[in-house]
Amino acid sequence: MSADDRAALGILLDLSQALLSAQVRSEVEAILTRQSVRLLGTRYALFLRYLPELDVLRVTAQAGQHADDLGRTLPRGQGASWRAALGPDPVLHLRREHLPPWAMRRAGVPPQHVLYAPLRSSSGRLLGVLTVGREDPPFLRRDEHLLATFANTGTVTLQRIHEAARAAATREGALLALGLALEARDYETQGHTGRTVALSERLGRALGLEEGEREHLRQGAYLHDIGKLSVPDGILLKPGPLTPDERALMQKHVLMGEALVRRIPGMPPEVLGVVRSHHERWDGAGYPDGRAGEAIPRLARLFSVVDVFDALTHVRPYRAPLSAPAALDLLRAEAGRQFDPEVVSAFVSLPLLGPGSRRV
């Protein structure tokens, strides 16, 4: 292996390593531009994302000495980036001494040698264009090959992220359907699943949960009451107080729910913890295990506050709803008894939803 080959391999390994941690499209685009400047020694690098709904290319990431292109939009057919996107070649190479008239130039920027590498999925779908430029030295065939490989590596990463997002959306839709299956039995609780999922996401952000933790919390919110599918209508919809035997049967819904959710392939233990433990109490007087304080899974402690607030502020067969301020007062009163005080403090401090003084 020649020295040039070893250098090229090192460059590609550096790029691949940087892309391994990327979780969203914007991270991939930023890494591609940043690493292109660093590894290819270019003056600048731009990523133009294709927006199919508008049929335009838009600069969504940049690195190097071009600091004023972010957000710039090119309609179909305008400029060299579109020429590369619509052309058959893996890289379009424009030399500064022979720039064609359709190559757009920015005022005050010296002529550049420029490379354009389109990113296309395996099905031929345009994802964007990676472009780099410099005044000197001219780009060599090796630079073209490297940029083409950069684009291919970026494409693979973007496809991975796209497929993961699509799988997550499909999974989330399936979880929502399970939650709605319970609501279909009881008109009084319709909307509870969607509201608790949305509130859980807001509370998770307020408490600084990472995206993975927030996803587990959302999944737990979708599934928290799925065990009530096993509770007879006569108990679930009873308008008056439950007898001790009925209450004991109702409380078993968390164990039944955990058993059902455990059968979903790949369900994380954090989600099982929400389903099983969201009726535990900070003071240890909850069910099914009588856990107290921080022995209760953290996500279950978070969801408990969300679940109770939504239940208090909406109609139930056995009582009328409370106003939001009255429900918040109740949560404050139960901080340190039923609820984790830190969670209550974060929940009652959530930003306003709309006009008026009502929080959360």
Indicate which residues carry an active-site annotation.
228
CB atoms within 10 A of CB 171: 16
> Quick one: CA dihedral 299, 301, 304, 305, positive or negative?
negative
**What kind and span of H or E run contains 23?**
none
Burial 35-58 (b: 16+ CB within 10 A, else e): bbbbbbebbbbbbbbbeeeeebbb
Q: Do residues 215 and 300 touch, judged by C-beta distance below 8 A?
A: no
| 13: its two tokens | 């390994």
Q: How far apart are CA 127 and CA 174, in angstroms?
A: 28
Q: Report which DSSP code applies to 69.
A: -
Q: How far apart are CA 27 and CA 40, in angstroms?
A: 19
> Quick one: CA dihedral 239, 336, 346, 355, positive or negative?
positive
